[in-house]
Amino acid sequence: MSASVLFVCLGNICRSPLAEAALVAEAERIGLDLEVDSAGTGDWHLGYPPDPRSVAVAQRNGVDISHLRARQVRPEDFHVFDQIVALDLQNLANLEAMRPAGAKAELSLLMDHVPGREGQAVADPYYGEDSLFDATWREVTEGAAALARRLKEQHG
124 is catalytic: yes
Q: Which of 9, 37, 71, 112 is catalytic?
A: 9
Q: Which residues constitute the domain of residue 38?
A: 3-155
pLDDT tens by residue, 73-119: 999 999 999 999 999 999 999 999 999 999 999 999 999 999 999 99
Instruction: Write down the pTM of the prediction.
Output: 0.96
Average pLDDT over residues 45-66: 96
Q: Which of 77, 82, 112, 124 is catalytic?
A: 124
> Is the Cβ–Cβ distance between 22 and 148 less than 8 Å?
no
Half-sphere exposure of 144 (CA within 13 A, CB side): 29
- Write down the pLDDT at residue 154: 87
9 is catalytic: yes
The CATH number of the domain holding residue 122 is 3.40.50.2300
Phi, psi of 133 (to 5 degrees): -70, -30
Q: How many domains does the chain have?
A: 1
29 is catalytic: no
Q: Which residues contact 82 (CB under 8 A, 6 or more apart)?
A: 3, 4, 5, 104, 105, 106
